[in-house]
A and B are shown apart, each in its own frame.
Chain A
Amino acid sequence: MTPEARPLLVIACGAIARELVRIKRANGWVHMDLQCLPPQLHNRPEQISAAVERVIEGAGNRYRKIFVAYGDCGSGGALDTVLKKHGIERLPGAHCYEFLAGSEAFRQLAAEEPGSFYLTDFLVAHFERLVIGGLGLDLHPELLPQYFRNYRRVVYLAQTESRELQARAREHAAFLGLDYEYRYCADQPLTARLSQLAEGLRP
């Protein structure tokens, strides 16, 4: 580690970049640097671990601590294998829905209806690109029933209280032919974990 090493680098999924910037500003964590990876990896989880490792190795010894703001995110343990090798921690849980909602709240949602399709602020805003385009429904709309026939509801796990996003989320649910449910989560579950980390490294 170099003497002028920065205190903290958070490597994050681009799908939660806005939330992380907001939390960083609100808490005055100027000692925390943020590097985000393309949110499209949400649809290509097998590529996450290699992408994260490239950033870790690129950071070299310029940071006292590196933290990864991903869940397992469908990598099937591959991300954890990489992080163990480098001695780096990540957010707890299987995916962003879990750490944005909070683990207990998410477990309850999944248990009460396994057929829940989750949206976040980011996914509501980029639904056309990441969900419709990501699943190829723009080219093959006839595949919609194959993808969604077992789902019963859309649950919008909101990070902000936005009437516009709520209206769009409701439209997305209607497009998918699913019931709609709104849960306002704010940034609290994510802030709680990052606080433990960032406050301890405050210069």
Chain B
Amino acid sequence: MSEEFNGEDIILAELPDEELVAQMHDDLYDGMADEIAEATRILLGRGWSASRVLEEALLAGMNIVGVDFRDGVLFVPEVLMSANAMKAGMSILKPILADTGARPVGIMVVGTVKGDIHDIGKNLVGMMMEGAGFEVIDLGINVEAASYIEAMEKHQANILGMSALLTTTMPYMKVVIDAMKERGIRNDCIVMVGGAPLNDEFGKAIGADVYCRDAATAVEAAKQFMARSA
């Protein structure tokens, strides 16, 4: 496959590793799924391990996207296109990574709270967490407290992630945290919350451990927690 740059065709397979990885960062930024899938196969074909492709090409590229989203350079449509491109690479790497039998870094239960059906941010967090080596149990949308708790107990989760886009649904996060306290499992995992109308103050007020303004923050917080509890 070739891409055009300043009127010249770029043949991905002809680029040396370093330039190909830089090109993948650009292609992730531009949401070019087919090019990411091809470049992923090229790097694997050159003997790169799946985890190296994931970290150096895909996750590093998505971190650039994350920073520009945070800074208001990119907006949701562009980030979705980037995420779709990352998914194209991940779908190639996932079976290979699964075959290695490596234990997950940690287990996260994630879902959008009851009354809310918005899942774009939640899905992005799930994808980035999987990319960082976590097992992600995605409960989907409109999730009740009992379902979060059942999943946390069943999977012995280290992390609970809750998402909400609506001012009217975000208070339900406190209902879930209170239910965890009643059940005596509040201290068994960290609670991370996120969503457009949330902020750090809200996270503290409801008793969450971390407010995550974006997927990169969620991954970093989860990694730090797992490192501390090791």
| A151 on the B face (CB < 8 A) | yes
Interface residue stretch chosen among B21-29, B39-47, B76-84, B125-133: B76-84
Bound together, the chains give a CA A156 to CA B24 distance in angstroms of 43
Interface residue stretch chosen among A17-25, A59-67, A136-144: A136-144
B199 and A136 within 8 A (CB): no
Which A residues are CB-close (under 8 A) to B197? 45, 72, 74-77
Q: A37-57: contact bitstring with B at CB < 8 Å (1 yes, 0 no)?
A: 000000001100000000000
A77 and B199 within 8 A (CB): yes
B75 and A114 within 8 A (CB): no
A150 and B196 within 8 A (CB): no
Bound together, the chains give a CA A46 to CA B166 distance in angstroms of 14
Which A residues are CB-close (under 8 A) to B76? 135-136
CB within 8 Å for A135 and B77 given contacts A72-B167, A76-B167: yes
Which A residues are CB-close (under 8 A) to B196? 45-46, 74, 76
Bound together, the chains give a CA A38 to CA B76 distance in angstroms of 20
Q: What count of chain A residues pass the 8 Å CB interface test?
A: 24
Nearest CB in chain A to that of B120: its residue: A146
Cross-interface CB contact of A114 among B81, B115, B199, cutoff 8 Å: B115
A136 and B118 within 8 A (CB): no
A143 and B80 within 8 A (CB): yes
| A147 on the B face (CB < 8 A) | yes
Which A residues are CB-close (under 8 A) to B115? 110-111, 114
Bound together, the chains give a CA A135 to CA B196 distance in angstroms of 15
Bound together, the chains give a CA A147 to CA B80 distance in angstroms of 10
Which B residues are CB-close (under 8 A) to A45? 196-197
CB within 8 Å for A114 and B77 given contacts A72-B197, A76-B167, A95-B167: no
CB within 8 Å for A114 and B198 given contacts A136-B76, A143-B80, A143-B81: no
| A177 on the B face (CB < 8 A) | no
Shortest C-beta distance, B206 to chain A (Å), equals 13
Nearest CB in chain B to that of A74: its residue: B197
Nearest CB in chain A to that of B141: its residue: A150
Shortest C-beta distance, A195 to chain B (Å), equals 25
B75 and A136 within 8 A (CB): yes
Apart from A147-B120, A150-B119, what 7 extra A-B contacts exist at CB < 8 Å? A46-B196, A72-B167, A76-B167, A111-B115, A114-B117, A135-B77, A136-B75
| The 9 residue pairs across chains A and B that have the minimum distance between CB atoms | A136-B77, A76-B197, A150-B117, A94-B167, A115-B117, A72-B167, A94-B168, A114-B117, A74-B197
